[in-house]
Structure 1
């Protein structure tokens, strides 16, 4: 490729990035807020409804069972009918379910709606991962992944203070508690965004009327070169299931998600346990931690693309998360400042591992295998999102402390680092016409 064509292509990808990624980030912010706002509303909801930590932990985690059962079908449907229709359905569904949760009175109602929230959201995260592979070649993808996935951290920055202020400022208005207002006001924007999605997104580059014919041609040629540079990849979903690499990646991501979900659903509780009881204060402390997490995700994705390396970027980030969780467990009842610093580093490490992790399956899967394989990895691994919060809730109820459960979670995340370094091979692109593909 000539220098002129390369420069032109860089401009096209910048345009694609600016068109798609900010909007996808907005959707992920809304999804994440609707998923994890119970981590904040539990600060008062449990007392209002007279529920135990075990009830909360089970309800927080059962969301991921909905993920497990419906994620693969959703991603296969996305490949068949396109991203616009699939993401519209998902976004409107989770918004309505979040609103309905404000009326729960019993644990069974809580469990049912949390499961339904998982059913509706199933397919969104792996669907976006698949969708971005249609628009970006492998060596530009970690940056796009990192930016998109950092939205979950930005959701923590926004969601914490927002939930805290709603809970404090609207408590008692119209006869509703503060936590009910949180669910209502944070669910409505998702419904609106789902409608906008249908008119805004474009399914594939060749359909993008906002690109010129020349730009669409450049992207098509570049994606074809990228496909050839990756060599032979598995296309069939059922055949891919026989490949041991996909099950290794499921195990690795399971270990990362165990830590991520524990921090998501029990981060506010940890802040409260070291002495900060105001929902507003808890929200701002978590906002700072997630802002650092967002910076870590973006930098790690960019650095991974820059050096064309994902193993160490993922493994070392997971190691930082594991070590920080261990520090939290040790100092939980000794030093508030150490716990808050370690909580921030745990969020940075765990979240920074995620975008570069997704470089690994896309290097040996494509087509239907990629659609089903990415969803399968995410759905099975997210069972850790069910088990880890439930385990922490049971241990907290039984012992009165989160420390023993945090030791377990730290050990599980450390396993991700060890598995990557021991069993995931280094990746090198194939040569094309005697020269490596370059951008």
Structure 2
């Protein structure tokens, strides 16, 4: 819905989007929810990708080949996909507080217990269990934000939430390097074992804290005034009213071919971000960099650049109420940069620069993408629709590690794998522009 339509409706309830009372209401909600969700997603991101750094030492101890490592990375997403949609639908029944508490405590426990794996097979089991434990967290938070913020606030709110993942990407490398080198031999454990233990405990603590801090919805909280609750309810009602003419159940969404288009776009994006997260340390090591601290610092570069650009993208997208072309331009930048990596591989500096730009663009595109599914699906189908899109995208996480490992085994080069990812991003860009009409999103904004 455009500003010109929303403003008169908001004025009818006595408030405009720019009034001090509205700004104060959403500022209070943001300060209550976003710091906790920011920290939780940062820990989530660290616990998910720490295997990429552990692999640099764990591979030797477990006799882990690149193919076996790819299967270990994939096992996580098999468990994640199987339980993601049921988890999000179940959250609607039991509430966000209970769901997020359970998820965080379980994934923290599984992460810490991964220190005991001593064979590739046990690593597969541990990663599968982590996927099961973590399933529903990300789409659950995306859904949870729709309980509090109307569509015209979600670009910036989603960007702030995703910033935590980029901060995690920036610190996870140096942190992993410091733990694995500085705490080698702690309680007779290998450095990679200490890494899993120390990075699993914060999730458990946050899960316990979530039970006392989060609320399921705005209607019964004690930290908003009655007037502020009315403001939140009215703006959410305006969003829902704009979608009732196409309201669908989850069953109808699954049978609607259009519902899979956002999933295809996310599949392409996730192929890029997943390859960056799980293979960049190995690519840097193959380039002749052996020091773990240096690998960690270089690997944090794309996240730093993405952090600097994503908020500006979200802000511009919110101001113009335009999502498709902002996202398409960002995906295209990533695709071209990944292609130039291969062309310039003889020049290590330039190749690394374009790897950083391509990875940063791909990462920055993800929060922008996640403003689309909540607007694309009706309020009735949002929980299942968001989880469906996330599950389709997560298939990329199952396929991309295996594909990258197979390409490397056949060609001896990770650069060819990034060429393939660039082609996927081009396909995703075409699917976005051809399969998601601007009018379909504009009706919901």
> Normalization by structure 1: what TM-score?
0.94
Aligned to 1:22: 35
Aligned to 1:278: 291
1:358 counterpart (362, 366, 370): 370
Aligned to 1:434: none
Residue 430 of structure 1 deviates from its aligned partner by 5.0
In structure 2, how many angstroms separate the alpha carbons of the residues matched to 1:418 and 1:429?
Answer: 19
Q: Which structure 2 residues correspond to residues 35-434 of structure 1 after superposition, within 5 A?
A: 35-230=48-243, 232-332=245-345, 334-427=346-439, 429=442
Q: Which structure 2 residues correspond to residues 5-16 of structure 1 after superposition, within 5 A?
A: 5-6=16-17, 7=19, 8-16=21-29
Deviations 1:291-340 (A, max 9, x none): 112222222122111110000111111111111211223333x1221122
Q: 1:4 to 1:240 in 2, by over 3 A?
A: closer
Residue 361 of structure 1 deviates from its aligned partner by 2.1
In structure 2, how many angstroms separate the alpha carbons of the residues matched to 1:392 and 1:429?
Answer: 38
When structure 1 is superposed on structure 2, of 218-227 and 231-240 the one drifting more is 231-240
In structure 1, how many angstroms separate the alpha carbons of the residues matched to 2:336 and 2:105?
Answer: 39
Residue 25 of structure 1 deviates from its aligned partner by 1.0
Residue 268 of structure 1 deviates from its aligned partner by 1.3
Residue 174 of structure 1 deviates from its aligned partner by 2.2
In structure 2, how many angstroms separate the alpha carbons of the residues matched to 1:300 and 1:402?
Answer: 30
> Normalization by structure 2: what TM-score?
0.93
Flag as ranges the 4+ runs of structure 1 deviating above 6 A. none
CA RMSD of aligned residues (A): 1.7
Long gaps (5+) in structure 1? 432-436
Q: Secondary structure at the match of 2:223?
A: coil
Deviations 1:159-205 (A, max 9, x none): 11100101110112222111111111100111111100111111111
Residue 51 of structure 1 deviates from its aligned partner by 1.3
In structure 1, how many angstroms separate the alpha carbons of the residues matched to 2:397 and 2:320?
Answer: 31
Residue 231 of structure 1 deviates from its aligned partner by 5.0
